[in-house]
Chains A and B, each alone.
Chain A
Amino acid sequence: MNKNEAISRRTFFKRTTAAGLLGALAATGLDKPVQASELSNGKLGTLIDLTKCDGCKNYQTPYCVEGCRMHNQERFPEPKKPLKKYWPQDKVEDWSDKRDLKSRLTPYNWTFVDHVRVEHNGEEQEVYVPRRCMHCDNPTCSKLCPFSAITKDSSGAVSIDDELCFGGAKCRDVCPWGIPQRQAGVGLYLDIAPDLAGGGVMYKCDMCVDLLASGKKPACVSACPKGALSIGPREDVRALAYQRAEEIRGYVYGDEENGGTSTLYISTVPFEIIDAAIKADKMSKKDAAPGRPGMPVNVENYLSTGKGMLMSAVIAPFAGAAVAGITAYRTMKGNRAKQTRNKLQEQGGENNHEE
């Protein structure tokens, strides 16, 4: 049995009550699990139902992609040219001449719909997968950014501060999906040492935090004509995801990955198969560039050992203090013994002299 399936069932039984309520909600046609007023506070989750997404195949651009671009276009980078290469490397990351590219993540395209053909249960199927930042619970990008330029707010949305980002692309390297994308020729590094250090600014989905702040849904969710994308209070979304997965005898992705994320996918096709199909397709196209993430199942969060590290860091000074105390005591005791011995020797010498 697949782990996703096991988790799905276990969690389903634990959440019978919540699922029951949500089932009633769904029966009334409100399977978009939220009302707008609930978006302005608390932890949120998004649900991406792959059984509903058809990639807007009858349209030139998927609606979610178009909605995202429309909403964020004023924030897209306008690099100063000519661009300087990342000395001593003979390269520079520039997407400014490919602004219309919609088939992968770029600094100008913060969401895209991947498309793969898979074989499952003996039949070939087409799978469309909207991709963007997963907004992790313990985002390695945010925690390991050397300048704390990536923040997570109370809704769970993870955002990059484009005025603070130096463009080193560490966030992309430590993200299991390599989500943030870099554009050279913009940002703080231009004011410091553009010939020697820095690389631009990293860009990615921020869950439309500006819209969330006013109680509105993210642009992609609002734009989806199929209801494949939805947003709501995190736990409600989670419960609904497992309920739906149970109903379709499907799988959930994003709840366990990287220690948990606020983006949950549900699919009738196991995510291992989708991941393998993405990898195979990339390989056939010799596509090794970032921006087309896979779907590695149960990918580990590399900071999961953080608690043990903190405990060790707390214990270390106590250990040092204890050893110092014992050593100091022994040395002082030794000194006193030496003084007594010297005194006795002196007295002994005097006695001998008298004799």
Chain B
Amino acid sequence: MKNSQKQDKLLRQNFVNRFVHWTTALSVMLLIVTGLGQLPLYTRYNVTKLPGAQWLGDYFITINLHYYAAFLLLFAVSFHIVYALARREFDIFPRKGDMKESYQIIKAMLTKGKEPASDKYLAEQRVAYLFIGLSILLLIITGLIKTLKNVPGVDLPNSFLYWSTALHNLGTGLIIFGVIGHLAAFLLKENRPLLPGMFSGSINRDYVKHRHSLWYAKLLRNGEITENSAGCDTIPSISDNLNL
């Protein structure tokens, strides 16, 4: 009984993907909270008066936390890039025609029409990845310049610092927009079956067959699954989960 339940699922996000996703999510959230703390916001708008929130008004506590979260993000981003390149895993990387296809998918979701067949990721997910990824890279580059600037004895040219600061602030706006957009995707009922993938790693097999038909076909073609649901290869084993 337990097996047949498992056979209804397919492993979409292995442990490494989930590790990168949640490490990035945690660090980005902490970076947003502490980064906004570098603007004189929390005291002005009485956030520091909330129980347990007084520390948000201390610029030096928030900047140190900002640094620690940045180390975590740098670790996750470099891990992700090197791992993807080493294993040639580019499913999430954007492809030609993704913008047009994203429009078609969103249109189909809103009008209950037929949407184009998708690979492991929807075109709009690949576009969102590109948007969030570029925002993060912008923040990392300008953030490193700002970190260098804070080293005692380092005096960088004023105009260079001005533009780094302005672009870092712009990147902050972009990443907040990106995170909100990412979460808003789950307001649409059609996307919700994807959610368990980032927790347990697996999503519904029928959902994959229906919405990610290109990926499903690829899994069949590569022999990673069989059409017959009785096949054990559909069950995500511990070693698959760890990708070991």
Residues of A within 8 A of B (CB): 86, 88-89, 137-138, 143-144, 146-148, 151-152, 168-170, 173-174, 199, 259, 301-307, 309-310, 312-313, 316-321, 323-325, 327-332, 334, 338
Contacts and interface: CB of A to CB of B under 8 A. Distances in A.
Nearest first, the 6 closest Cβ-Cβ pairs linking A and B are A320-B78, A328-B86, A168-B40, A324-B82, A316-B74, A317-B78
B222 to A, nearest CB: 12
Contact of A144 (B44, B63, B71): B63
28 contacts: A86-B44, A143-B150, A144-B38, A148-B158, A152-B155, A168-B44, A169-B40, A301-B152, A303-B152, A304-B152, A309-B67, A310-B150, A313-B144, A313-B147, A316-B78, A319-B75, A320-B74, A320-B78, A320-B80, A320-B82, A321-B79, A323-B79, A324-B81, A324-B83, A325-B82, A327-B83, A328-B83, A338-B239
B110 interface: no
Counting chain B residues whose Cβ lies within 8 A of the other chain, the interface size class is 35 or more
A143 B149 contact: yes
A53 B54 CA distance: 42
Given A320-B77, A321-B82, A325-B86, A331 B244 contact: yes
B76 interface: yes
A152 B83 CA distance: 42
A354 to B, nearest CB: 24
Contact of B59 (A144, A301, A325): A144
A303 B64 CA distance: 10
Interface of A is mostly: helix
B152 A259 contact: yes
A170 B40 contact: yes
A321 B169 CA distance: 27
A333 to B, nearest CB: 9
Contacts of B148: 310
Interface in B123-167: 144, 147-155, 158, 161-162, 164-166
A324 B147 contact: no
B78 A324 contact: yes
Given A316-B71, A324-B81, 16 more contacts: A137-B152, A146-B38, A146-B40, A170-B39, A170-B40, A173-B40, A306-B150, A306-B151, A310-B148, A313-B71, A316-B74, A320-B79, A323-B75, A323-B79, A327-B16, A338-B239
B46 A138 contact: no
A165 to B, nearest CB: 12
Contacts of A316: 70-72, 74-75, 78
A267 B180 CA distance: 58
Contacts of A331: 16, 87, 242-244
Contacts of B71: 312-313, 316
Nearest to A329: B86
B45 interface: yes
Contact of B79 (A170, A301, A306, A324): A324
Contact of B70 (A147, A313, A320): A313
